[in-house]
Chain A
Amino acid sequence: MFRNKPKLAIGAGLLLVFTLFVGIDMEPVLSDHELTTVPVPFIKRQPALALVFSLPVEPFRVMHHDTDMPDVKRLALQRYCAVRFGESEVDCLATLEGRLRESGFYKAE
């Protein structure tokens, strides 16, 4: 049992490093009027303990760069953007809009 201790410690350390720097983003996809999510693994731009992430605001707020977002949502989006893309809110909204367009989201015109 004692002989396995170093291995366990290394394993736990690797798991911690993996958790700190690798995440899974459940990205929204709009297909034929239905909203689903697809898991997308990613390297975190800032260490964080959470493993599973999702866009913290509704996709329409990203598509239309909503400036009247409630503060709670804005803060959550800023945290998500920092970990997911290492970007400020403005740059992140542009990145996210591109990703949402790829995933079937669109504007009415």
Chain B
Amino acid sequence: MSDVRTDDLKTGSFDTWATIEAKRAEAVKTVTVKVDHKAATRQAIIVAIRKAGIPLMTRSEWKAKPSARSDGPDWDYSAIVIHHAGNSYSCSADGAELIRKAEDTDIASFGHISYHYAIDCKGTIYEALDIREKGAHLKAANTGKIGIVFLSDFSLPGEAVAHGPSLSDSFKRGAKAGVAEILGQAKDTVSTSWDTPTTPQLNAVDVLVKTLVEYFKIAMLGGHREFASANDQGRACPGAHGLKIARDLRDRYGLDVPK
């Protein structure tokens, strides 16, 4: 074997650096190790969040039910969507109970939990859907979007009337959809309780978004309503408090409004 550092380039033959490395690898019997970079990234996100002092429960830790079906893989995420879980959720309930409730609703509706991460009122982050899987948290527009849900009710009374699907649009879809919307709006209007974001929740979502921005080329962040409006749909989610969280996160991490 010759060495490029000592060989006389004018008279002798020589090996390139690549050839030398290949010969050396052959000599020491190098073993090629394949790394699943997506699995490694999922794990790195979990480790980074925990390292920042935020409690996180993986799917196996909170004993998530196996999905009945998948909407396929997803990976090149460019947007984060903020949701609240809905009017029937409350910080007075236990987070473990609420993630189970969201899971049951989503498995019945989509065959799998629809969001990637959930945050309860104590600031615990639950790994909901594996980040390698496509979510189902937006109507027919989930590719490339990470879904984060607060297990809370962040909408104020009247938001469903002001920002949800209009009654005329609902009745156009059918009498049943219209009746359901009337019932939902009535429930929302007379609602006397809602949640305000807790400090642990705000800390948790900040660390989560900061971590996701480090691992993916995230360019856009918004509330469910902002993404729905961009597609001419009405939505009360994520409520006034959820939208403020989305605005604050956009400002902090220099992200765009949904278009």
Contacts and interface: CB of A to CB of B under 8 A. Distances in A.
Contact of B184 (A31, A40, A99): A31
B79 interface: no
B180 A103 contact: yes
B225 to A, nearest CB: 10
Contacts, number: 95
B46 to A, nearest CB: 24
B235 interface: yes
A1 to B, nearest CB: 44
B69 A107 contact: no
Given A60-B68, A106-B140, A38 B184 contact: no
A32 interface: yes
Interface string B172-184: 0110110111011
Given A29-B180, A103-B176, A66 B69 contact: yes
Contact of B135 (A101, A105, A108): A108
A60 B71 CA distance: 11
A34 B160 CA distance: 13
A44 B143 CA distance: 41
A109 B140 contact: yes
Contacts of A106: 136, 139-140
Contacts of B177: 29, 102-104
A32 B164 contact: yes
A36 B188 CA distance: 14
Interface string A86-109: 000000000000010111111111
Interface string B94-117: 000000001001011111001000
A27 B173 CA distance: 14
User: Which of B149, B173, B174, B237 has the most chain A CB atoms inside 10 A of its CB?
Assistant: B174
Nearest to B88: A34
B29 to A, nearest CB: 46
A33 B87 CA distance: 9
Given A33-B86, A108-B136, A40 B108 contact: no
Contacts of B114: 33
Interface in A22-50: 27-36, 38, 40
A33 B114 CA distance: 10
B66 to A, nearest CB: 14
B121 interface: no
A71 interface: no
Given A32-B237, A108-B140, A109-B142, A58 B108 contact: yes
A27 B236 CA distance: 22
Interface centre among A28, A102, A106, A108 (most CB of B within 10 A): A108
B186 interface: no
Nearest to A55: B108
Interface string B228-246: 0000000111000000000
18 contacts: A28-B108, A29-B177, A32-B87, A33-B105, A34-B87, A59-B108, A60-B69, A60-B111, A64-B69, A103-B173, A105-B109, A107-B140, A108-B134, A108-B135, A108-B142, A109-B134, A109-B140, A109-B141
